[in-house]
A = this chain, B = another copy of it.
Amino acid sequence: MADHLVSFDTAPEPVRVPTGTLLSEAAKLAGVEITQPCGGQGRCGRCAVQIVSGTVRRRSTLRLSQGDVEAGFALACQTVVEGDVQVLVPPQEKIERRLTTDRTAGEVSVPLGYDYRHDQTIRRTWLTLKPPTLDDQTDDWSRLVTALRQKAHVKNLSITLEQLQMIGDILRADDWRVTAIYETEPGNDPTAPARLIELLPGHIDHDTPFMGLAIDIGTTTVTVWLVDLISGEVKAQLAEYNGQISRGEDVISRIIYASKNGGMDEMRVLIVETINRLIDTACRRAQVEKTSIIKVTIAGNSTMMHLLLGIPAMNIRLSPFVTTVNTLPNIPARELVLDVHPEATVDCLPGVASYVGADITSGVYSSGMNATDKLTLFLDIGTNGEIVLGSRDWLVSVACSAGPAFEGAGVIYGMRATVGAIEELWINDITYEPTYRVIGGVRPRGICGSGLISLLAEMFMTGVLDKGGHLNTSLGNPRIREGEHGMEYVIAWADQSYHGRDISITHVDIDNLLRAKAAIYAGFTVMADRVGVPLEAVEQVLIGGSFGKYINVEKAVQIGLLPDMEWERFQFLGNTAIRGAYHALLDREARERIHDIARRMTYIELSADNTFYEAFTSALFLPHTDMHRFPSVQADFEGRAALKVED
C-alpha cells in the first residue's frame, strides 16, 4: 500500500499514512484535535473538515449538504485518504452554527407562558453569619440553619454527610459570608424539608450562571433545554437521536434487549451518554460550566424512564402491563451519573401507566387541556401513539402501539425532518408525477413524517393507491413498478436525488404506515366510545409529538389519521413534553399540576377486550372501511373522480 502525505492547516508538519487511513486517524497522528461527539459514527457531522487538495473517498456524507460536499467538506471520521491531501480544519463554532441553523432557530428565548414570578423550588441566597464567640458557641450547622431560617424562612433544612464534612471550612473561608444553594420540597407546606445543594464561600456574583435542564427522553429523539433559572431564558435547545436506537427502534424491542444479560446496564449507559453529550454541547454553546446546572426535570415515556433509572421494564411488556413505578422520588444527579452538579435534583415527572408516561402528563399540562372547559382530544404521535380525552373536569387516556413509521423508521426512505427530507408532496391527477418540497431546498435524500402523510394522501386521492392500500398497477405508469422489495411507487428518480438512487415507497412501507395511522384512529374512536362521548363533540384537537408541528391536516384527514372535522379545531403544538418539563423546572405550581394530572387521569387498557382490534382492522383502509365517517374526504374524492371521468 502506498503512503501519502496529509497536511492539516492547524498542524506544524504533515503526517505520512497509508492508503485507506481515516482522516480522523491522520489528524490524531498530526496532533490535531477533531471533535467527534458521536464517537466516529458519522452521525453528528461535527468532525467536518475541508479538503483543499488531494484525493479522498467519502464513505458517508450524512449531515453534509450537496453544497458542502461541492465545497470540499468531508466528515473526518468517514473519509479515507487515497493520495496526498491538504486539509483545512474549520473552527468548531462554525460547524456548530451550520448544524444548528434549522427551522427552530427562533425558539432560543424565554418561552411563551413563562412567568418570572413563579415560585421555584431551587433558591440561591447570600448569608452573613454572626461569628461564634465564647458566649455563643452554637455549632456551625445550627448557625447556618438559623441564618437561612431568618433570611429565607427555610425550615427543616437537610444536609448530606459529605457537605457536613466541608461546611466548617467554607463558613470560615470568607469570614462567615457564604452563598447557599438549596431546594425546598415541592408542595405548599411551609414546614416541608429543604435540602442544601451547595454552600459556597463568599457572596458570589449575581451573574454567576444558575442553570436548570429540561429533558424529554423520546424513544427516537432526546431533547434538552438548558435554562437560566433566574430569567427563565432557554440558553440552548438541542436534540439528538436516543443512543439506544441501535438496540431497537421501539420500546418493546428495547425492553427485550434490556432484559438480556447485561442489556439493562448497556441501555442505561447509552441514554446517559446521549444526555451527557447534549449537556456538553448545550453548556459549551451557552458558555456555562456543567456544574452550574442545579436542577433537572425529565419527561419521557415510562419505558424510557425505567431504562434511564436501571429499573427492569419487562413487566411493561407482559400482561397485565404494569410499571415498577409511575411517580419517582427525586434523585441526586450523582446517582444517575449525569454531567451536572452532583447534588442537582433530578425530578422525573410522573407517568400514569406503562404506555402513558411523563411525556403525556407534562404534554397535557403544557397543552393547557387540563385547565380548559372545552372537550379536548390530545394526541401525541411519536413512536407510540398516546391519546388523552377530556378537559378541566376529567381526563382519560389510551395508548396504541403506532410504531415508529411516522418518525421515518420502518420505511425504507423514511428519515427525520432534517435537511434533505421531502416534507410535503403533491401528485398530479393525470400524469401521477410528484412534485415536492425538500427541507433546506436541496436534492431529496428521503421523506419525513409530514411528507409520508402527504404522499399517502396524494396517492390515495389520485388513485395510485386503492382504498385497501394496494398500488394500482393497472395505471401503466412507470413510477408504479416491481422493485427490489416488491411493488413500489418511485417518488424521485436517481438523477434527481441527493445520493443518486431512486427514492421510492414500497408496499411494505405503505402497510407500516397504514398500521400506524389505523392504531391511532382506532385508539381515539374506541376511547370516545368507552367514555360515551361522540367524536363530533370534541371542541379542539391538540397535537403534540415530534412531527406534530408540521403535518398538513387536510392530508392527515384524507388518510384517516385524524378525524374529519373543521380544520380550525386542530392545533399543532410540537414537542409538548419538553415544554411541560420546562415549566416544572421553573414553577412549583406547574409541577404540582402535572402530578395532579397524573393522579386523576384514568387509563383505559385497549388490549383488555377486542373492540380495539375490530376498530383497528376497520381503520386499516383509506381513510376507513366506513367512508361515511369522512364526509369531506368522500366529497373530495368523488369530486376528483367526477373530474377525471369528465377528462
Contacts and interface: CB of A to CB of B under 8 A. Distances in A.
Contacts of A134: 319-321, 605, 607-608
A393 interface: no
Interface stretch (A85-93, A156-164, A621-629): A156-164
A104 interface: no
Interface stretch (A138-146, A271-279, A458-466): A138-146
Nearest to A193: B193
B310 A165 contact: yes
A246 interface: no
A637 interface: no
18 contacts: A133-B320, A134-B607, A136-B320, A137-B605, A139-B324, A139-B325, A139-B326, A140-B315, A141-B324, A158-B329, A159-B329, A161-B309, A161-B329, A161-B335, A164-B309, A164-B325, A165-B311, A168-B315
B142 A327 contact: yes
A260 to B, nearest CB: 15
A245 interface: no
B164 A311 contact: yes
A200 interface: no
Instruction: For the complex of A and B, list the 5 residue pairs with the smallest distance between their C-beta atoms, beginning with the closest.
Output: A141-B325, A168-B324, A139-B323, A134-B608, A139-B326
Given A139-B326, A164-B324, 17 more contacts: A134-B605, A135-B605, A137-B322, A137-B603, A137-B605, A138-B322, A139-B322, A139-B323, A141-B327, A142-B327, A158-B329, A159-B329, A161-B335, A164-B309, A164-B311, A164-B325, A165-B312
A169 interface: yes
A167 B138 CA distance: 43
A142 B603 CA distance: 15
A354 interface: yes
Given A165-B312, A168-B315, A329-B159, A140 B335 contact: no
This chain: how many copies in the complex?
A: 2
A110 interface: no
Interface in A167-204: 167-169
A618 to B, nearest CB: 23
Interface residues of A, number: 43
A135 B605 CA distance: 8
Task: Give the interface centre of A134, A167, A321 by most chain B CB atoms within 10 Å.
Answer: A134
Contacts of A608: 134-135
Interface in A31-68: none
Interface string A592-615: 000000000001010110000000
Interface string A286-324: 000000000000000000000001111001000111111
A331 interface: yes
A353 interface: yes
A311 B353 CA distance: 45
A639 interface: no
Interface string A119-147: 00000000000001111111111100000
Task: Give the interface centre of A138, A165, A325, A608 by most chain B CB atoms within 10 Å.
Answer: A325
Given A134-B607, A329-B158, A608-B134, A323 B140 contact: yes
Nearest to A138: B322
Contacts of A309: 161, 164-165
Contacts of A138: 322
A347 to B, nearest CB: 13
Contacts of A315: 140, 168
Contacts of A168: 311-312, 315, 324
A137 B354 contact: yes
Contacts of A324: 139-141, 164, 167-168
